[in-house]
Amino acid sequence: MAVVYEKSKGLTDAELHYCPGCHHGIIHKLVAESLVELGLLDGAIGICPVGCSVFAYNYFSCDMLEASHGRAPAVATGIKRTHPDQAVFTYQGDGDLASIGAAEIVHAAMRGEKFTTIFVNNAIYGMTGGQMAPTTLIGQKATTCQSGRTVEQAGMPIRVAEMLSTLDGCVYAERVCVTDIANINKAKRAIKKAFEKQMNREGFTFVEVLSTCPTNWGMTPLKAVQWLKDNMIPYYPLGVIKDKGLEV
């Protein structure tokens, strides 16, 4: 019998702990497949954040390090600078990257650190139970803005991919989502491109993946996908935001 599909060798057999309808599982799979297809898995070193994907080190089959909250880009810097020929990536959520780790991601991009960041943006703090994130949309409810986020209280949500794109050291930034097959394919192309550019030593590469959080959004998985399309994509537009050398 011909094998038409099998789980990526880039993933372990550990059972994922993610909630039903959460997109982390799909995003893990795309990162793992990309590493395998590019022949990078054996030398790859990944860094997990603090947040829902804190246990991602159990799921990726490459060597992994767990960083303190927000510091994954600094940890990755220490690794990549001493292991310049190996693929290094951080996998971070929006609380980790856009809030407590804002300084670390900005400066890693500024220095043009040659690693790839997979930024999973679900517009909320997931693991701690649904608090407001810097990426929470105006009007979106969270446990620390129970009537919805307001501009007066918390300002406008941060568009990280656009912000990092202003830095010369960031050579590639794309925003994708994984709500359907077409978008999953686009997301994988973006992740592979980011790793290719990393290995070409072009500079810092960044893929923002919009993701659902049905549990903390208080929605079914299907409604969450629709909410992402109706609310997140208009504020966080999909597509290539920066590809150095190409006009975007």
Closest of 62, 56, 16 to residue 36, by C-alpha: 62
Residue 43 found at the interface with another protein (CB under 8 A): yes
Chain positions 74 to 113 lying near another protein, rule: CB under 8 A, are: 74-79, 81-83, 86, 103-104, 106-107, 111
25-33, 58-66, 128-136, 180-188 -> range binding another protein (CB under 8 A): 58-66
Residue 12 found at the interface with another protein (CB under 8 A): yes
Residue 38 found at the interface with another protein (CB under 8 A): no
From 8, 34, 61, 117, residue interacting with another protein (rule: CB under 8 A): 61
Closest of 54, 59, 12, 60 to residue 40, by C-alpha: 60
Do 41 and 35 meet the contact criterion of CB atoms below 8 Å apart?
yes
Shortest Cβ distance from residue 91 to another protein (Å)?
A: 14
213 phi-psi bin (left φ>0, alpha ψ -120 to 50, beta other): beta
Residue 242, SS3 per DSSP: strand
Residue 151 found at the interface with another protein (CB under 8 A): no
99 vs 115: CA distance, rounded Å: 20
19 vs 208: CA distance, rounded Å: 20
Chain positions 159 to 178 lying near another protein, rule: CB under 8 A, are: none
Residues lying near another protein in the complex (CB under 8 A): 12, 41-45, 47, 54-55, 57-58, 60-68, 71, 74-79, 81-83, 86, 103-104, 106-107, 111
